[in-house]
Amino acid sequence: MQLPRFDFIQPATIDEACSLLDERKGDATVLAGGTDLLIELRRRLRKPGCVIGLKEMRGLDYIQKDDGGDLRIGALARLQWIESSPIIAEEYPALAQATRLVAVPPIRRVATIGGNLSLDTRCIYYNQSEFWRSAQADCIKLGGDICHAVPKGRRCLAVCQSDLAPVLMALGASVKIVSAEAERTVALADFFTGKGEKPNVLAPGELLAEVIIPSDGQRAAVYEKLRIREGMDFPLAGIVVSLGTDGQGAAAGARIVLSAVGPAPTRIVEAEGLLEGKRIDDDLLEQVAQVMFERAHPVANLAMDPWYRRKMVKVLTKRAVRQALETAKAN
Amino acid sequence: MEQVLIKLTVNGREEDVRVSPHKTLLEVLRDDLSLTGAKNGCEDGSCGTCTVLLDGAAVRSCLLLAMEAQGHEIVTIEGLSDGQNMSPLQEIFVNQGAVQCGFCSPGMILTAKALLDSASSPTETEIREAISGNLCRCTGYTKIVEAVMAASGQPVPVRTHPYEGDVSERAAS
């Protein structure tokens, strides 16, 4: 299937890109790696008049520490750089681990961190060809007023498919958003709206420019991902557990993020609280997993039974906590 | 949305092509340059049969606009042979029985080439990781992995056919 026709412009600088976005507000979309955008265009899920190609743009392609010790990753940093970066391997190994679970090497070579964070949510009734979709009424995500996944559903529950978002959220990351007029930094938790039809706060004319990760200390984080094809697949459920130990083997400062069961990755504070200051045994693990299970509400909108996905949340939680604890003790 | 004249470096040759901005590299290679080695499979990045080398690394040509490929070295499967003889890697794929219908072969071979250019003797795990994005629906991956091992000069594990040998002996063990 051919792509729809569009104007294609490759700006050289961020300022140029921003003024282009401003000029053609609402009609322009940015193409970074393009590994997901081109598929959406093919399916006519987006119909931009203008595509702004960023592959040759300089200025957002870095991974570096700033003076305050935070790690700054330009939105155009390729996923392959992240998995092979010495700084990330040393200080944020979970980010490298999660990156290796995204797609496959040829895709990670072009795909970018900014693109991964701003991935659109997915649903089996939405991510289809235009012809396939023409057989039924437009759903909420397409601007209609019905949901095909949930009978009588009034909210779009299309699923967040980013593997990096839950990890970055557990690491306390924030993102810098720029536009022609302004610049703002938002915590990743506030970047996601929780709405399937409009998953993030990026407004027309705005560009995701940078990811900022604070120094993580002696913590260990683990990402567990459920998928059908182990070689490459979007997540059907995801759990990130990040924690440290107090020296006597008890958990400290735990953060647990639940993802790929709803429109946004979410920290489950209640589950985190259960672990705080405790030595982790099987009973406690069961309690934490039970909380995660109760907070996960997948619906029948991805290629696997929602009840199975929900039960796997429990299994993945246990695996992630055990492994994070082991790594934290070894640190 | 007018056509633009772009310069592509394909298999060492400079090609001037007139393209519309919405054309993918795959479409231009196949339709304008008649290089039909790279195949159009899934169109969503999951099969890998459109793989080409961009500056030596395997990428999906169906997920790349032709205009974005300007200024980069593109190698397609046609670029491996000299027009008459196959490259050693292609020979090994044939000799090891790693080709059946051949639809995945261009992608498999180019992905293998990118791997072998960066690692001289990859382990079986590394090979499987490298080709994990390339779907084969008939040869089976075993022969393909063996071909890549053979191409890097490593011994190919001897596998006996499951129905060869004395069945009673096998049942006893």
Record the tokens describing residue B157, joined without a space.
């594990």
Q: Which residues of chain A have pLDDT under 70?
A: 218
What is the band of B47 on the pLDDT scale with cuts at 50, 70, 90?
very high
**Mapping DSSP to helix (H, G, I), strand (E, B) and coil, where does residue A256 land?**
strand
Put simply, whether A201 touches B (Cβ < 8 Å) is no
Q: What is the DSSP string of A105-160?
A: HHHHTT-BHHHHHTPPPB-TTTSS-HHHHTTS--BGGGTSSB-SSSTT--S--PBP
A99-131 as b/e: b if 16+ CB within 10 A: bbbbbbbbbbbbbbbbbbbbbbbbbebbbeeee
A4 to chain B: nearest residue by CA? B22
Residue A284 lies in a domain: yes
The angle formed by the CA atoms of residues A272, A236 and A113, to the nearest 5 degrees, is: 80
Residue B74 burial (CB count, 10 A): 28
- Give the pair of three-digit tokens for residue B6: 């772009």
Q: What is the pLDDT of residue B173?
A: 47
Is residue A295 a part of any domain in this protein? yes
Rounded Cα distance between A178 and A210, Å, is 9
Tens of pLDDT, residue by residue over B121-166, are 999 999 999 999 999 999 889 999 999 999 999 998 776 666 655 5
Say what the pLDDT of residue B165 is.
Answer: 54
Question: Does any domain span residue A158?
Answer: no
Phi and psi at residue B101, to the nearest 5°? -75, -25
User: Does A35 sit within 8 Å of B24, measured CB to CB?
Assistant: no
Residue A252 and residue A285 in contact, taking contact as beta carbons nearer than 8 Å: no
**Which residue among A42, A57, A72 closes a domain?**
A57
Where do the H-state alpha helices sit in chain A? 14-23, 37-42, 79-84, 86-91, 93-100, 105-108, 113-117, 130-133, 164-170, 188-191, 269-275, 282-295, 306-330
Hunting for tokens 């659109």 — which residue is that?
Answer: A120
**Higher pLDDT, residue B2 or A217:** B2
CATH code of the domain covering residue A228: 3.30.390.50
Domain membership of residue A207 (yes or no) is no
Rounded to the nearest angstrom, the minimum Cα separation between B130 and chain A is 7
Q: Is the complex ipTM higher than 0.85?
A: yes
pLDDT of residue A305: 96
SS3 labels along A199-231: EECCCCCCEEEEEEECCCCCCEEEEEEECCCCC
pLDDT computed for residue A51 by the predictor? 97
Contact assessment for residue A306 and residue A329, using Cβ atoms and an 8 Å cutoff: no
State residue B164's pLDDT score. 59
B95 touches A at CB < 8 Å: no
Give the position of tokens 């490593």: B154
Nearest CA distance, A49 vs chain B (angstrom): 9
- Tell me, what's the pLDDT at A216? 74
Which domains, ranges and CATH numbers included, belong to chain B? 1-79 (3.10.20.30), 82-154 (1.10.150.120)
Give dist(CA A321, CA A184) in Å, integer: 34
Domains identified in chain A, total number: 2
pLDDT at B158: 73
Burial class (CB in 10 A: 0-12, 13-18, 19+), B39: buried
Nearest residue on chain A to B1, judged by CA atoms? A7
Which among A32, A56, A46, A33 has a CA at the least distance from the CA of A3?
Answer: A46
Which of A9, A30, A38 should be substituted to probe chain B, the one whose Cβ sees the most B Cβ atoms within 10 Å?
A38
Q: What is the per-residue pLDDT across A76-132, written as a single tens digit (0 to 9) for each? A: 999 999 999 999 999 999 999 999 999 999 999 999 999 999 999 999 999 999 999
Judged by CB atoms closer than 8 Å, whether chains meet at B58 and A109 is answered as yes
**pLDDT value at residue B2:** 84
Looking at A57, A76, A101, the residue that finishes a domain is A57
CB atoms within 10 A of CB A68: 9
Cβ of residue A53 closer than 8 Å to a chain B Cβ: yes
Report the pLDDT value the prediction gives residue A219, as an integer from 0 to 100: 82
Give the side-chain half-sphere CA count within 13 A for A153.
Answer: 18
Residue A12 lies in a domain: yes
pLDDT greater than 50 at residue B18: yes
- Residue A173 belongs to a domain: no
Q: Is residue A125 part of a domain?
A: no
pLDDT above 50: residue B52: yes
Domain containing A31 equals: 1-57
Q: Given the DSSP bridges, would you call strands A63-65 and A207-213 parallel, antiparallel or unpaired?
A: unpaired
Inside any domain, residue A255 = yes
